């Protein structure tokens, strides 16, 4: 008996935060695997989101770039409505958008707390809810939440981010149980540090980078391509009996 492949031919995926970094890499990888892709980001004025959509189109897939702030229910509902109007279905949702404010919890202001929690947790809930309802109607779908190893290991100065990502892991588990009856699988991926602009403040000087890489058994930071395989696996038929799990992508750090 053969193993199901990682093809996403004929599927429609939504990728939040698809403008750059991990989101951009996921969107392009899904297109290369055969999916049409709808991208969203709250920033569109710099043209980067549109540029990713154009790259997807050059791969021979359909693409849609939508301005949306996932912390706002109206924006999320509009995103889903626009995608349904354009494609008629939502097969895969990848919640990827994230932000972080570096500060000890005793010094983090309420506004900073709200920004991190709303973006990194509430936004995932809103997108899961809106897209999940469409998946329930069609009795099938895949939801993939990008969490972090920060969900499992506290990091000083990153309290709100750690707490939000821990919430994403539990959101994944609860939704997996609630949506299994509708043939919807919900899983998460927890990368350690990935070499992107988002994480650059954490490894910006050579000495810090050397120390971090020395702690990782594989001896290097992850690149965006290192996250892609896990996403494609969870989005494809190859993971047809997996739900409620978090795949850790950390180069062996948690071993």
- Residue 63's DSSP bridge partners are 37
DSSP conformation class of 103: B
The backbone torsions φ and ψ at residue 20, rounded to the nearest 5 degrees and listed phi first, read -160, 175
- The yes-or-no answer on residue 182 being catalytic is no
Indicate which residue of 124, 161, 182, 241 is catalytic: 161
- Residue 224's DSSP bridge partners are none
Judge whether 6 and 236 are in contact, CB under 8 Å: yes
Q: Which of 206, 225, 226 is nearest to 214 (CA)?
A: 206
Judge whether 187 and 239 are in contact, CB under 8 Å: yes
Roughly what angle, to the nearest 10 degrees, separates helices 159-179 and 110-117?
30
User: How far out from the chain centre does Cα 125 lie?
Assistant: 12
Residues acting as catalytic residues: 161
């Amino acid at each position: 008996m053969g193993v199901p492949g990682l093809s996403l031919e004929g599927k429609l995926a939504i990728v939040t935060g698809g403008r750059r970094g991990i989101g951009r890499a996921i969107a392009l990888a899904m297109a290369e695997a055969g999916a049409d892709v709808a991208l969203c980001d709250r920033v569109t004025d710099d043209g980067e989101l549109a540029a990713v959509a154009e790259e997807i189109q050059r791969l021979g897939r359909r693409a849609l770039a939508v301005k949306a702030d996932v912390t706002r229910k109206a924006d999320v509902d509009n995103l889903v409505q626009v995608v349904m109007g354009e494609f008629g279905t939502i097969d895969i949702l990848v919640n990827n958008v994230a932000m972080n404010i570096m500060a000890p919890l005793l010094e983090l202001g309420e506004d900073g707390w709200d920004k991190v929690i709303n973006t990194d947790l509430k936004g995932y809930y809103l997108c899961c809810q809106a897209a999940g309802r469409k998946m329930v109607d069609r009795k099938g779908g895949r939801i993939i939440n990008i969490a972090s190893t920060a969900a499992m290991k506290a990091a000083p100065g990153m309290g709100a981010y750690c707490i939000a990502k821990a919430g994403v892991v539990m959101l994944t588990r609860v939704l997996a149980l609630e949506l299994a009856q509708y043939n919807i699988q919900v899983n998460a991926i927890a990368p350690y540090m990935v070499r992107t602009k988002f994480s650059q403040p954490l490894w910006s000087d050579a000495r810090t980078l050397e120390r971090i890489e020395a702690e990782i058994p594989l001896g290097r930071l992850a690149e965006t391509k290192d996250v892609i395989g896990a996403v494609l696996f969870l989005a494809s038929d190859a993971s047809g009996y997996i739900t409620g799990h978090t795949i850790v992508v950390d180069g062996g750090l948690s071993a």
